[in-house]
Amino acid sequence: MWRSTPLVLVNTTTPRHVLESIASKSQGGTFHYVSDDKSFTVRFAEILGGLLSVVVQDLNLTVWQQPGHSTIEAEEVYAGSYRKVGDSAAGWVTVSFGDLFSGEARKVLVRVLLPAVHNEHRVAVLLARCSYRVRGETFYCPRDHRMRCFMRRARSASPGAMNAEVSHDCQRGGHFAHAAHAQVRGAGRRVRKGSQQAAAAGGRRRQAGAGGRTGRDEEETTGGGGTDVGGLGLWGGSRECRSSGWWAWATVILCTVLAIAVILAGAAVFAVYTLFKPKMPYLAVSDARLGLLQYDQGGTIQSLQMSITIRAENNNSRADATFSRVDLALGFHGVDVALLRAEPFVVARESSLPLRYNVVSVGRTLDAEGMQAMDAALKASVVPFDLLGKARTRWKVGVFVRLRYWTRIWCRLRLFFPGNGTVVPTDRDRCRSR
């Protein structure tokens, strides 16, 4: 099985920059430049001691973004020359460090994009987990889950909130990126200069004498141009300090338009409410009277006569209200005694319409609990009936807004019987739909 191994170079004759270039292209590679045999012995002993003190092998670190709370991209994870793989769309990056010697430490700098928040709260913005091998066995840390990196989110970041060590690492990462870009730019400049020198040399050979000076002048002029191009420099600052893209401006414009639309909509709603002051129509009991109740010991209501008046109220000053699908039920202890219904009707603005019902019911049988409740009510001379149901209301606010609601009623009416059969005043006053 192939496994990447850190490359260690020790040499006394090869130039230092060659060793450095080779080691930098190896995962975890290092180099030692020695000037004599004594230094060679010391360096070799240090390398051998390090190889014998390897504590973990194939060390990998994986970081994940927290959906909805953070976003990371593969190119925004800085791990030096160590190999990394990732998927920006899925939001994960894995960095491979290779072997880790005793006493060694590794650092990774991760730039996390955080969405705006409207209130302070504590949230996990990053998930992380390590894997490594010891004597051929693979281990994970944490073992059973991913480590959560929490932070305290605020509406705005304080300029001095960044840790000094993190700030230093950011500056160092920017310096390394600047150096890498400068190295690539310098290599390209050297290639162009070599091509120009070859072309100038060919021209000097063709001119054979006097034209040689012209070729040299051309070379120097071209070289100067290359220097000027290379002298443009590279901005090594952080990504946040670079110019915003078009999408940022589009987002700002869109948010501004939405904010204006919300403000205008709120102002329109407030104006309509202030002008029309809409109120929901409702049903209310204005009177109820129990005229006759014949009940036998077998639990049957042989005859019941009752009158009840329900008032439909419309307190809107600028709109008529329509009531439809009025469906009410009058019952005793879960048994419906009568059904109260009405055809659709209209109640004019700031007025009411009474609905008068004369209830006649016969042959309603109660269960055992209902019989006990009826016996207790007759002994107390107060018989309770339950009124429940609903009605659909519709009215118009302004020119365009039409409101439709279900208004529901559920209340208990206690009537004095035997007695005058009238309803308890407090029950009558509280019995209205919502």
Least confident of 197-206, 288-297, 376-385: 197-206
- Residue 206 clears pLDDT 70, i.e. is over it: no
| Region 267-274 average pLDDT | 75
pLDDT of residue 246: 81
Question: What distance in Å separates the CA atoms of residue 55 and residue 76, rounded to the nearest whole number?
Answer: 29
pLDDT tens string 304-313? 999 999 999 9
Position 253 confidence tier, pLDDT thresholds 50, 70, 90: very high
pLDDT of residue 399: 62
- Residue 237 clears pLDDT 70, i.e. is over it: no
The answer to whether residues 111 and 146 touch, using CB atoms and an 8 Å cutoff, is: no
pLDDT of residue 343: 93
Question: What distance in Å separates the CA atoms of residue 32 and residue 34, rounded to the nearest whole number?
Answer: 6
| Region 87-109 average pLDDT | 82
Question: What distance in Å separates the CA atoms of residue 309 and residue 387, rounded to the nearest whole number?
Answer: 12
Portion of the chain with pLDDT greater than 90, in percent: 31
- Residue 160 clears pLDDT 60, i.e. is over it: yes
Question: What distance in Å separates the CA atoms of residue 238 and residue 174, rounded to the nearest whole number?
Answer: 7
Averaged pLDDT score across all residues of the chain:
77
pLDDT tens string 122-154? 888 888 999 999 888 898 988 777 888 888 888
pLDDT of residue 27: 57
Contacts of 242 (CB under 8 A, 6+ apart): 235
Position 81 confidence tier, pLDDT thresholds 50, 70, 90: confident
Q: Which of 43-52, 231-240, 279-288 has the highest mean pLDDT?
A: 279-288
pLDDT tens string 162-194? 676 766 666 665 554 554 555 545 555 555 655
pLDDT of residue 146: 83
pLDDT tens string 353-407? 999 999 999 989 999 999 999 999 999 999 999 999 999 999 877 665 678 889 9
> Of 27, 28, 20, 82, whose CA–CA distance to 50 is shortest?
28
Cβ count within 10 A of residue 150: 10
Position 218 confidence tier, pLDDT thresholds 50, 70, 90: very low
Count of H-run helices and E-run strands, the chain:
7, 19
pLDDT of residue 288: 95
Position 414 confidence tier, pLDDT thresholds 50, 70, 90: very high
Contacts of 281 (CB under 8 A, 6+ apart): 312, 313, 314, 315, 316, 321, 323, 347, 393, 395, 407
Portion of the chain with pLDDT greater than 70, in percent: 66
**Which has more confidence, 97 or 406?**
406
Question: What distance in Å separates the CA atoms of residue 104 and residue 49, rounded to the nearest whole number?
Answer: 13
Position 242 confidence tier, pLDDT thresholds 50, 70, 90: very low
pLDDT of residue 38: 60
Position 347 confidence tier, pLDDT thresholds 50, 70, 90: very high
**Which has more confidence, 32 or 68?**
68
